Structure 1
């Protein structure tokens, strides 16, 4: 069985964590399945070296002016394609879309339209298409709405991460059994603590996100760095030993440098392995961040966290953990900010919140397990159908 994992990458560490989450589940349930990823365009977040490290087959895929040319690789004999680990789009049995947050007016209609075209093609071939838990919407642009209607029609299962995304999606197509709610599934991934990480010297983690600058209005974008600088300064004054963790690329690193200076020269940790990033966050006393999956990694391990965010997914994440007041406005007063930071630095409040987060985390993890059981049910039926077809094929003379 060929299983394509799409829209998970390597630059964004949240996307890479989702990739690991999917691959771990597939390895446990279908160890003989061939996991596939498309190469993407030049300078894409899917480099060959990274894909090969994870044992991923390469989908023969090339788009030019909206036309797919990848299936021209069918002219190469199947044995040679297998030798080089190349798979045709037409050979894919199951597509698992792990976009996280792509199908929304905030990213424009093009991504939704691409999914609609692809889902229509896969459905016609009998390929099962499953959208793993992710955020959707809003959809106000008519092109987006038309694309949503098309891709929903041709998908087998669609999981929204929270109620607002569910309402955005069903507001366009109506309620359907195949559209379901399930939390972010990276909560099942175990982190790895780097050997050189000193939890005694790095206690409270600050995780900046440059999307707070390019996906927000001018008032938020202009106030974001000063807000994080206030957080760094207050934590330093309390002796909380804050540090910066870069969750994605050079843009986040530049923000980290500006914030570190306000805290008196705070340490900055850059880590490329998403499993180690989760391991670091799990060792912290607390976090203040704006990277969605950095917050999932902390909250799911019972680490008291505060957040700022640029979409509805942040508020809904904290609602899942029963701590909606943990999402802060950047124009919060110094007095209110100091009170919020007590959730991290005051021992009694820290212990209470950590216990609450762990209780919610256990319930959310069970929902993720239930989601995978439903996904595997679709995949099992696909495999059974393949076996039935194979048993009817005549044996070569």
Structure 2
């Protein structure tokens, strides 16, 4: 029996939900007595999702949040930094000196305490050491990897996009961290190229596709329940739109107006009904796709032909909705992955290389546009192409999918052979 700690993920994200549950399933296949915990920044929400999702999933949710020491957030950050330094010194003292006397200094920061009590860390970050994130993110991951190494813990970078970055500090953090982990599982060619450029000493690197490709699709009965719930008519043509709140934060109203215009054109000229799906929902947080979907909905002229879903759907409930569509328009990464998984062609408005490297696996990278410089014409040209080649493209996805659906089995073998 081993204690596994999952980090870097919250089941608030439907992609992370699929990856966490698939990881749980495979780790329990290794040994049904294994204990699995999830390090969470939103424990209350994650517990509620896990309890609703399946009674057979027994994941302990642990808070990674440091307590507020003072009211001022800047002073609080300073106090947390002091505690980090104190805990790092404690780790060294515990490992070098106090272990000989069967003594140990207790750690102040929650994430260090939880790392100390586990045997193995499964990092499901999705993306790390990328130019699209700030330096503090790279520093955090490097710190966690080095702490695990000093404590003698196994550390697996689960299937994810890594890099790229031209920032010297991010690359320095990547080298320091990744050279000290047990195994690295890049999920695409761009990540592999970045790792090669780092010239890592760590030889334990293996391509493993995204774990969500292994997460089972919903059954026909589950599909019918969703279609009945939302009164979907099989005689109508549907397109799903899974927009990303971050793109509104970065791109503002211009990108919303562009997308609204595209939706109106699909309805007026192509005869489609559009389903707006909130991929990430959080009543208490800043990341809630219902907010941006409401703005898009209000900008559209043809509201009667738009289903704006406000519910917090589970990963497979979203896949049921995608199944009834001719194609999808995605800026949510795992909306794209889910679309591919159920054999529906995604047109992708992306913000990072991770979108390209997954679509590259299916030779569909030409259906990805960068949100920062795309136009209405760019998206509508891809819509016209997908409509005219839809059957051919779906067959294309089905030919490639069997190569990637065993991703979690590959991950399980790597963990088994290295724990």
* Common topology (TM > 0.5): yes
Equivalent residue in structure 2 for 1:107, among 109, 115, 133: 133
Please give the residue correspondences for 1:61-140 in structure 2 after superposition, counting only pairs within 5 Å.
63=66, 64-65=80-81, 67=84, 88-140=114-166
The whole-number CA distance in structure 2 between the counterparts of 1:252 and 1:151 is: 33
Structure 1 259/367 Cα, relative in aligned 2: closer, same or farther at 3 Å? Answer: same
Q: Deviations over 1:25-48 (max 9, x none)?
A: 2233332110012244xx568644
Q: Is the Cα contact below 8 Å between 2:18 and 2:211 reproduced in 1?
A: no
Instruction: Please state if 1:341 is matched with 2:372.
Output: no
Q: Which runs of 5+ in 1 are unaligned?
A: 73-86, 383-397
Structure 1 residue matching 2:206: 3-state secondary structure? strand
Q: Is the Cα contact below 8 Å between 2:43 and 2:62 reproduced in 1?
A: no
Instruction: Please state if 1:146 is matched with 2:146.
Output: no
Please give the residue correspondences for 1:193-232 in structure 2 after superposition, counting only pairs within 5 Å.
193=222, 195-197=225-227, 198=232, 200=234, 203-215=238-250, 221=252, 223-232=254-263
Structure 1 52/6 Cα, relative in aligned 2: closer, same or farther at 3 Å? Answer: farther
Residue-pair matches, total:
357
The whole-number CA distance in structure 2 between the counterparts of 1:62 and 1:360 is: 41
Instruction: Please state if 1:173 is matched with 2:199.
Output: yes
- Name 1:298's counterpart in structure 2: 339
Instruction: Please state if 1:31 is matched with 2:40.
Output: no
Q: Is the Cα contact below 8 Å between 2:180 and 2:202 reproduced in 1?
A: no
Structure 1 51/251 Cα, relative in aligned 2: closer, same or farther at 3 Å? Answer: closer
Q: State the Cα distance separating 1:60 from its structure 2 match.
A: 7.5
Q: State the Cα distance separating 1:140 from its structure 2 match.
A: 3.0
Q: Is the Cα contact below 8 Å between 2:30 and 2:412 reproduced in 1?
A: no
Q: Which runs of 5+ in 2 are unaligned?
A: 67-79, 92-112, 282-286
The whole-number CA distance in structure 2 between the counterparts of 1:329 and 1:93 is: 40
Q: State the Cα distance separating 1:232 from its structure 2 match.
A: 0.9
The whole-number CA distance in structure 1 between the counterparts of 2:337 and 2:409 is: 16
The whole-number CA distance in structure 2 between the counterparts of 1:143 and 1:336 is: 35
Structure 1 57/255 Cα, relative in aligned 2: closer, same or farther at 3 Å? Answer: closer
Instruction: Please state if 1:276 is matched with 2:317.
Output: yes
Please give the residue correspondences for 1:313-392 in structure 2 after superposition, counting only pairs within 5 Å.
313-328=354-369, 337-346=379-388, 349-367=389-407, 369-378=409-418, 382=419
Q: Is the Cα contact below 8 Å between 1:60 and 1:89 reproduced in 2?
A: no
- Name 1:22's counterpart in structure 2: 23
**299-308 vs 10-19, greater mean Cα deviation:** 10-19
- Name 1:258's counterpart in structure 2: 295
TM-score, normalising length: structure 1: 0.80
The whole-number CA distance in structure 1 between the counterparts of 2:375 and 2:134 is: 34
Q: State the Cα distance separating 1:280 from its structure 2 match.
A: 2.2
TM-score, normalising length: structure 2: 0.76
Q: Report the aligned-residue RMSD.
A: 3.0
The whole-number CA distance in structure 2 between the counterparts of 1:291 and 1:61 is: 25
- Name 2:72's counterpart in structure 1: none
The whole-number CA distance in structure 1 between the counterparts of 2:18 and 2:189 is: 23
Structure 1 residue matching 2:162: 3-state secondary structure? coil
